[in-house]
Chains A and B, each alone.
Chain A
Amino acid sequence: MARMKFLCDAERCIECNACVTACKNENEVPWGINRRRVVTLNDGEMGKERSISMACMHCTDAPCAAVCPVDCFYTTADAVVLHSKELCIGCGYCFYACPFGAPQYPQLGNFGGRGKMDKCTFCAGGPEADNTPAEYARYGANRLAEGKLPLCAEMCSTKALLAGDGEIIAAIYKERVVTRGYGSGAWGWSTAYPDSQGV
């Protein structure tokens, strides 16, 4: 089985936010929720500005799963970290633990308004049967079950955002770095995949 990962090549990302829009559209993400976002570092500084598209990194030993009081997370055979909205109680602890700020909460609960947590599913749906209306309503598309990769990466115009088997996308990135002679590294990989080889 593949070990699915995201990789954002900061040398290529042009902050067009198409990945964000594609994600919202493909998964019909609720209003106010961004499963993916583009963060610009050193904004406006000549030569230092870098944009990185970030979403759930589907960590090895995921912190969200570790801290969840109801243990609603699970990891698929493709190493995608998913959760059950059936079990989630919207406590918000995964947001405190997540290094990447991936968990989001639609304003549905009482007071501070945390509904069930929502996050990037690597376009792999949820625990419901693949590509059923029930799965789509809760988690959005299940492109993986259709043999497709996440739409954000698939439609990235500069191919900055890569999604797929970790070894393959790492090899693509390495080839780029060697050809270009520089690279700013695979953002978040050291945090998300401490056991895997660095890029």
Chain B
Amino acid sequence: MTMLRRCLALGFLALLLALGQPALAQVQDQGRPSNEELQLMQQLQGQGPLTGRVSIPDQRAATLIQPAGKEWRDFWRGTSPWIGGIAIGGMLALLVLFFLIRGRVPMEGGRSGETITRFNGLDRFAHWLTAISFLVLAITGLNIAFGRDLLLPLIGPEAFSAFSDAGKVAHNFLSFPFTLGILLMLVLWVRDNIPSRLDLEWLAAGGGIIGHGHAHARRFNGGQKAIFWSVVLMGGAIAVTGYFLMFPFTVVADVGGMQTTQMVHSVLSMILVAIILAHIYIGTIGMEGAFHAMGSGEVDLNWAEAHHDLWAEEIRARERRETGTAPGAMPAE
């Protein structure tokens, strides 16, 4: 009798279990998200954020779950250090190797003693305004990307945080002179940086640094134009994305947009740092006589004729015309 009752009870329980299947399935499916949560996630095409309504003023709080944060995290801790490491580390390795093989490119024919003006005060102001702010921006930016892994273990959390905090302030403020410098350089030099057929010939001749023959060049050769356009275009994009990040959720409305902005900002910045490393190399230890162009603004005539023959000719012709004309007459051009 008790046996029968027990069997009946078990049968009834089995029936209950069968009826309560969906709920129990959730309970028993260990390690899996609930069905309803999954359904809602799928309704929002899998990866979209799950948004509802909130009664508080901050409407961003209405997003209950944003799964894209995971991808951004993977980028920031996984992909981004690789991109930066390969771009910057690779460039440094390349420059060291190049220096060991080629050495310092000497000035052809030595110094002539005679100089011509390559960059006037405003030119140099624009360059160094951008350059100095870029250096600080690059160091503080790379600190955000790599400091935790490279610098933090060396100096400890307190010092590292103090440095990063000051770095963040510097990064924010120096974005303004950097942007101003880029705009100034764009206005000053854009007319001399329009790509032309000469640039292709320059490239074919190995830019004068790989081979020995020099291609003709006006004020800026192909390499310098490449630097100019990467600084203006990439630097401009970095500045714009930087301002989006600095004023979060003002132009870019949602968290997904902020993630994308951060990704664009970091990747472009790290590539630009790599490009600028090459620019710094060639302007300083890489080539004799090159630094004077941005240092004093005066370059040796032999250097000018070797690297920018058409421009040097133009300048000398203008000088001859100017000295030849009577005072008070209209200047040439």
Contact = CB atoms under 8 A, between A and B. Distances in A.
B116 to A, nearest CB: 44
Interface string A61-88: 0010011111110000000000000111
B64 A187 contact: yes
Given A71-B157, A89-B161, A198-B34, A112 B248 contact: yes
Contacts of A86: 158, 161
Interface stretch (B21-29, B188-196, B272-280, B304-312): B21-29
Contacts of A90: 168
Contacts of A174: 27
Nearest to B64: A39
A96 B27 contact: no
B30 A185 contact: no
Contact of A199 (B20, B34, B160, B255): B34
Given A38-B54, A87-B157, A112-B250, A198 B29 contact: yes
A1 interface: no
B121 to A, nearest CB: 31
B160 A184 contact: no
B252 to A, nearest CB: 11
B77 to A, nearest CB: 6
B248 A70 contact: no
B270 to A, nearest CB: 15
B302 interface: no
B65 A185 contact: no
Given A66-B73, A70-B164, A178-B27, A114 B248 contact: yes
Given A40-B52, A101-B61, A181-B23, A71 B30 contact: no
B31 to A, nearest CB: 5
A185 B33 contact: yes
B70 A89 contact: no
A100 B255 CA distance: 11
Query: Which among A34, A43, A89, A181 has the greatest number of chain B C-beta atoms within 10 A?
Result: A89
Interface stretch (B35-43, B225-233, B281-289, B322-330): B35-43
A90 B54 CA distance: 25
Interface residues of A, number: 60
B58 interface: yes
B54 A96 contact: no
Query: Which among B22, B55, B173, B247 has the greatest number of chain A C-beta atoms within 10 A?
Result: B55
Contact of A183 (B26, B50, B73): B26
Given A89-B161, A112-B246, A99 B65 contact: yes
A70 B152 contact: yes
A115 B188 CA distance: 39
B169 interface: yes
Contacts of B157: 70-72, 87
Interface string A33-73: 01001111111000000001010000000010011111110
Interface in A105-124: 110-112, 114
B65 A188 contact: yes
Given A52-B64, A187-B64, A191-B67, A71 B168 contact: no
Contacts of A185: 26, 33-37
A7 B157 CA distance: 34
A86 to B, nearest CB: 7
Contacts of A17: 55
B148 to A, nearest CB: 5
12 contacts: A38-B54, A40-B52, A67-B77, A70-B147, A70-B160, A71-B157, A99-B69, A99-B70, A101-B64, A112-B248, A185-B26, A198-B32
